[in-house]
RNA sequence: CGGGGCGUAGCGCAGUUGGGAGCGCGCCUGUUUCGGGUACAGGAGGUCGAAGGUUCGAGUCCUUUCGCCCCGACCA
């Protein structure tokens, strides 16, 4: 491709509200353009990257025996009503009417459509198992689109669905996809973690997220610095560490703390470290109230509470429903209420708690002497420096972008939709399903998040829009120009993807653009070539420059990638 | 959904007490420069988000509305 022909209009100035590096670089380098909130045009450079990522994904999907299909983006409401998700999915579902006033929606995911398809065609265990996938546009009316194409309302997703006669087959299929996903993320060259995750609105039992480590991520994950343990912070476990303050127990004291509710406020006012405060959080679950106690420097993890207590629909208690105003609730004098405490509070001596009275806290409170929790359970959110539950190593907390998510759905969709098959013994059973997604467009941005410097993008070769950037410093010079043209033709002939900067621009402009675009290899043809037939070879990722006799360039190329 | 902010040229922005629509980038023309976003000169380009109102007069004040962005939406 010749730069003079490329649809490429780099921008110097960026809106100040562009936050993610990837978003900024994609706009700057003319890869995408915003159409409306959370809606983007993919321009030639961005689209080439997208296609390369698609190709990698497609190759791996085909390799595990999945077959590619294309399902509609426009769905009739009926299917969504059968599974109940017409209402459950909520405002994120784009709903519309056709000319006959029939309700439709734009597909945010395709379980309903694919299950209906499978129901129509599959009757026997002999037809199982199999896998179908598609790469297609999804629509989700996100409450807050953000970070360019990282969280947009219309995006490209690869979704794969697997269909099985029994659990064993599902497990086998799940494992195969898991491996294929590893291949994909490796091929794209990403730093990622695989974590056990919540299954969310898609549902099902087991699920793993493929999370790309990046500052602009919206997920928080915890992983061990010495073993392979990793999980979302909601799921992450930790070894509680009981640090005994080993102080003499002091008599309890009521202190006036007007309007001071937060740990920070109380801790500053009383000049006591947050770790000496015991937070009391009131929750409701299945109609009963429960008090949760954690150290002031920790946060309660409600998902953990649900899991450990085996209850659902846990919610925080509203101000009006408690005996004491929120912010002043404490464990002492809570009659008839179950108290669940994190084991780490056992070590707190002479702690501070709410007094169950507006504007008062209690000092020098001691567990065992002044109150006794009903049970001790590790109910707080994992945090930096926690000990790994598997090996005792230190946990690291990182932000990340969810780029892949795989689920064992079981019969969540096949059962309500009646997608059944006949077993060898003649029984009818719902088909067991798995579903597996990758945010394809999101991966473009995620890769940039991990591969950039102050001058621009640094593409891994596998997904770079072009592999080689030929930079003639002076296009009006006949010697430089004819050599560049010739080199360009030879490289293209050999199958390389090449950008030839044939613009009549100053060298500086071309160097800036070459760096911004992040093409892996740059070949500079300038004064050195005119004087002594030397051209420069440079890898975008490295600072070294190889000076190579012009006739050797092609042979030397592969060594520089 | 709650809170805050912003809509003025393709992009980024300024516009004071109500009276002339401006600056930078980009774009066009010319000269100049030529290995890290050259310099200079000239030029094209805007129903000031929209509707209504106040006023002799509105980018500016009032009302309504649309769009966009940020923060929060579990930790007392």
Q: How far is the CA of A505 from the C1' of B19 (A)?
A: 46
Triad A525, A526, A530: Cα angle to 5°: 105
Q: Is residue A203 predicted with pLDDT exceeding 60? A: no
Between A2-6, A356-360, A438-442, the lowest mean confidence (pLDDT) is in A356-360
Strand B nucleotides in reach of protein CB atoms, 7 A cut-off? 1, 11-13, 24-26, 33-38, 67-76
Q: How far is the CA of A13 from the C1' of B19 (A)?
A: 34
Identify the pLDDT of residue A277.
86
Mean pLDDT of the A386-408 span: 88
- For each of the domains in chain A, give its residue range(s) and CATH number, in order of start: 21-191+409-448 (3.30.930.10), 253-376 (3.90.960.10), 466-560 (3.40.50.800)
Between A74-78, A160-164, A219-223, A425-429, the lowest mean confidence (pLDDT) is in A219-223
Identify the pLDDT of residue A297.
83
Identify the pLDDT of residue A518.
96
Triad A137, A140, A141: Cα angle to 5°: 140
Q: Which residue is nearest to nucleotide B38 (CA to C1')?
A: A506
Mean pLDDT of the A456-470 span: 97
Per-residue flag: A326 CB under 7 A of strand B: yes
pLDDT digits (tens, 9 = 90+) for A288-316: 778 888 888 888 887 777 777 777 667 67
The DSSP call for residue A501 is -
Nearest to A111 by CA among A434, A404, A418, A403: A434
Residue A153: CB atoms within 10 A of its CB come to 19
Q: Is residue A259 predicted with pLDDT exceeding 90? A: no
Identify the pLDDT of residue A339.
86
Complex ipTM? 0.91
Q: What is the dihedral of CA A379, A381, A387, A393, to 10 degrees?
A: 140
Identify the pLDDT of residue A134.
97
Distance CA A537, CA A553 (A): 8
A426: CB partners within 8 A, 6+ apart: none
Identify the pLDDT of residue A357.
80
Give me the DSSP letters along A186-206.
HHHT--EEEEE---GGG--S-
Residues facing A405 on adjacent strands: A209, A437
**What's the gap between Cα A551 and its chain centre?**
46
Cis omega (within 30 of 0) on the bond before A129? yes
Nearest to A431 by CA among A132, A106, A199, A87: A132
Per-residue flag: A319 CB under 7 A of strand B: yes
As to burial, measured by CB atoms within 10 angstroms (0-12 exposed, 13-18 middle, 19+ buried), residue A522 is buried
Per-residue flag: A12 CB under 7 A of strand B: yes
Distance CA A322, CA A76 (A): 46
Q: Is residue A380 predicted with pLDDT exceeding 80? A: yes
pLDDT digits (tens, 9 = 90+) for A152-187: 999 999 999 999 999 999 999 999 999 999 999 999
Per-residue flag: A261 CB under 7 A of strand B: yes
Strands (E), A214-269: 219-224, 230-232, 253-256
Q: How far is the CA of A373 from the C1' of B52 (A)?
A: 65
Residue A91: CB atoms within 10 A of its CB come to 9
Q: Is residue A325 predicted with pLDDT exceeding 70? A: no
Distance CA A342, CA A373 (A): 9
Which band of pLDDT confidence, cut at 50, 70 and 90, is reported for residue A199? low
Residues 22-61 of A with CB under 7 A from strand B: 28, 36-38
Q: What is the mean pLDDT of chain A?
A: 89
A44-63 vs A167-188: helix crossing angle, rounded to 10: 140
Q: How far is the CA of A476 from the C1' of B10 (A)?
A: 29
Residue A424: CB atoms within 10 A of its CB come to 9
A517: CB partners within 8 A, 6+ apart: A29, A45, A456, A457, A465, A466, A469, A499
Q: How far is the CA of A189 from the C1' of B4 (A)?
A: 40
């Amino acid at each position: 491709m010749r730069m003079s022909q490329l649809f490429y209009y780099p921008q110097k100035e960026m809106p100040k509200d562009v936050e993610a590096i990837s978003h900024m670089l994609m706009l700057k380098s003319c890869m995408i353009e915003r159409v409306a909130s959370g809606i983007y045009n993919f321009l030639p450079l961005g689209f080439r990257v997208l296609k390369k990522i698609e190709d990698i994904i497609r190759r791996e999907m085909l390799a595990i025996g999945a077959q590619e299909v294309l399902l509609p983006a426009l769905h009739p409401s009926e299917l969504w009503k059968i599974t109940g998700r017409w209402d459950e999915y909520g405002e994120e579902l784009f709903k519309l009417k056709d000319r006959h006033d029939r309700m439709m929606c734009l597909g945010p995911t395709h379980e309903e459509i694919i299950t209906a398809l499978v129901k129509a065609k599959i009757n026997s265990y002999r037809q199982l198992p199999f896998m179908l996938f598609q790469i297609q546009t999804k629509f989700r009316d996100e409450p807050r689109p953000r970070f360019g194409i990282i969280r947009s309302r219309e995006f490209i997703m690869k979704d794969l669905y697997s269909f099985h006669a029994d659990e064993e087959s599902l497990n086998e299929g799940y494992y195969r996809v898991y491996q294929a996903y590893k291949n994909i993320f490796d091929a794209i060259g990403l730093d990622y973690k695989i974590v056990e995750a919540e299954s969310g609105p898609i549902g099902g039992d087991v699920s793993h997220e493929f999370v790309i480590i990046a500052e602009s991520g919206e997920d928080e994950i915890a992983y061990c610095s010495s073993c392979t343990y990793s999980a979302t912070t909601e799921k992450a476990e930790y070894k509680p560490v009981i640090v005994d303050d080993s102080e003499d127990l002091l008599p309890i004291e009521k202190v006036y703390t007007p309007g001071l509710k937060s740990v920070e406020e109380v801790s500053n006012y009383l000049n006591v470290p947050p770790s000496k405060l015991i937070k009391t959080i009131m929750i409701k679950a299945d109609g009963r109230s429960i008090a949760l106690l954690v150290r002031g420097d920790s946060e309660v993890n409600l998902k953990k509470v649900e899991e450990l207590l085996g209850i659902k629909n846990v919610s925080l208690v509203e101000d009006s429903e408690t005996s004491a105003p929120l912010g002043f609730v404490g464990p002492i004098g809570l009659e008839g209420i179950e108290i669940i405490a994190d084991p780490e509070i056992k070590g707190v001596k002479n702690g501070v708690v709410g007094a169950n009275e507006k504007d008062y806290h209690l000092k020098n409170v001691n567990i065992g002497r002044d109150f006794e929790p009903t049970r001790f359970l590790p109910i707080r959110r994992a945090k930096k420096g926690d000990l790994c539950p598997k090996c005792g190593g230190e946990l690291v907390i990182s932000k990340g972008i969810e780029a892949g998510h795989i689920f064992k759905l079981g019969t969540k969709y096949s059962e309500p939709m009646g997608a059944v098959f006949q077993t060898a013994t003649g029984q009818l059973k719902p088909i067991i399903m798995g579903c597996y997604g990758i945010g394809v467009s999101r991966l473009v941005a995620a890769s940039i998040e991990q591969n950039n410097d102050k001058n621009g993008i640094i593409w891994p070769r596998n997904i770079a829009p072009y592999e080689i950037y030929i930079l003639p410093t002076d296009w009006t010079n006949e010697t430089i120009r004819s050599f560049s043209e010739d080199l360009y033709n030879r490289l293209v002939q050999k199958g390389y993807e090449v950008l030839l900067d044939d613009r009549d621009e100053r060298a500086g402009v071309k160097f800036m653009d070459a760096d911004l675009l992040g093409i892996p290899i740059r070949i500079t043809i300038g004064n050195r070539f005119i004087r002594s037939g030397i051209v420069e070879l440079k890898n975008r990722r490295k600072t070294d420059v190889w000076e190579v006799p012009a006739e050797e360039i092609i042979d030397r190329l592969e060594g520089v990638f």
